[in-house]
């Protein structure tokens, strides 16, 4: 995928927001979690990532076309959610720079990255770990003391100061909604979103992620 001409198009520019990004990673935890938030918070699409060579990838959700790399806003929570359907491997640095640009334009207070981390010890309830803001400890998340992080999240951690992360244990490269539900509960406790996932979130694939196959 060529993102050499990557740019951001914003139709609204709210200020002092918090940004949640959930790019595809292990277990698609970030993608599933951001989809859930878009479905359960009152959001509007305020922009998208724009680039010259867009892979012919779309999704349909409830009869509506889903932009492959979109930017959404919840006015109630003053929260911006970055959602993508695309595999961005090889373009992580450019995407991280684009997210930094969004954060600067919107004077973001914090960037929250959602990721899955591999676990060799399956648990009935996936553990959630955090990096960054110590207040995340109050959600029940454990400090991630050791691990290897890759992708957009790693690029942000290396280049941006106000980044915090929530990592959910997952045991498969397949979509893991159970891990996503665990990280959503931590997000809900941290941001008081009122979006605690119900049992229907614990399906193995959301309709949008299924559409990408």
Q: Where are the beta strands (DSSP E) in 119-187?
A: 128-131, 142-143, 163-170
Which two three-digit tokens encode residue 41? 């918070």
Q: What element of type H or E holds 204? A: none
Range list of β-strands (E), the chain: 7-10, 18-22, 44-50, 59-61, 64-66, 69-74, 79-84, 110-118, 128-131, 142-143, 163-170
CATH architecture of the domain with range 7-210: 3-Layer(aba) Sandwich (3.40)
What are the residue ranges spanned by the domains of the chain?
A: 7-210
Q: What stretches in the chain show pLDDT beneath 50?
A: 1-3, 199-200, 202-207, 210-213
Q: pLDDT value at position 211?
A: 40
3 state SS of 50: strand
Closest CA to 142 of 161, 162, 169, 123: 169
* 3-class SS of residue 97: helix
**What per-residue confidence (pLDDT) applies to 59?**
76
Give the pairing of strands 128-131 and 142-143: parallel
Backbone φ and ψ of 112, nearest 5°: -110, 120
Rounded alpha-carbon distances, angstroms, from residue 56 to 4, 59, 91: 17, 10, 17
What confidence score (pLDDT) does residue 122 get? 62
- CB count within 10 Å of CB 84 equals 23
Say what the pLDDT of residue 175 is: 87
Strand-pairing partners, residue 19, are 80, 111
Q: Quick one: tokens of 66?
A: 């889903």
pLDDT of residue 26: 83
pLDDT at 56: 64
* Separation between Cα atoms, residue 190 and residue 132, nearest integer Å: 13
pTM value? 0.85
Q: What is the pLDDT of residue 42?
A: 87
- Are 126 and 169 contacting, i.e. CB atoms less than 8 angstroms apart? yes
């Amino acid at each position: 995928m060529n993102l050499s001409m990557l740019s951001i198009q914003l139709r609204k520019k709210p200020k002092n927001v918090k940004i949640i990004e959930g790019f595809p990673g292990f277990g698609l935890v970030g993608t599933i979690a951001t989809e859930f938030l878009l479905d359960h918070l009152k959001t509007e699409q305020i922009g998208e990532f724009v680039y010259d060579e867009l892979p012919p990838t779309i999704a349909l959700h409830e009869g509506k076309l889903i932009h492959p790399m979109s930017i959404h806003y919840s006015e109630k929570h003053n929260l911006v959610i970055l959602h993508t359907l695309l595999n961005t491997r090889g373009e992580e640095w450019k995407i991280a720079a684009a997210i930094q640009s969004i954060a600067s334009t919107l004077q973001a207070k914090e960037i929250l990255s959602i990721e899955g981390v591999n676990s060799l010890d399956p648990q009935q309830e996936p553990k959630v770990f955090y990096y960054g803001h110590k207040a995340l400890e109050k959600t029940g998340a454990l400090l991630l003391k050791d691990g290897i992080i890759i992708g957009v999240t790693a690029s942000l951690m290396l280049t941006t100061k106000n980044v915090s992360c929530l990592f959910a244990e997952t045991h498969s490269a397949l979509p893991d909604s159970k891990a996503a539900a665990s990280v959503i509960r931590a997000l809900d406790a941290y941001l008081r979103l009122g979006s605690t996932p119900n049992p229907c979130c614990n399906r193995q694939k959301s309709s949008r992620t299924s559409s990408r196959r």
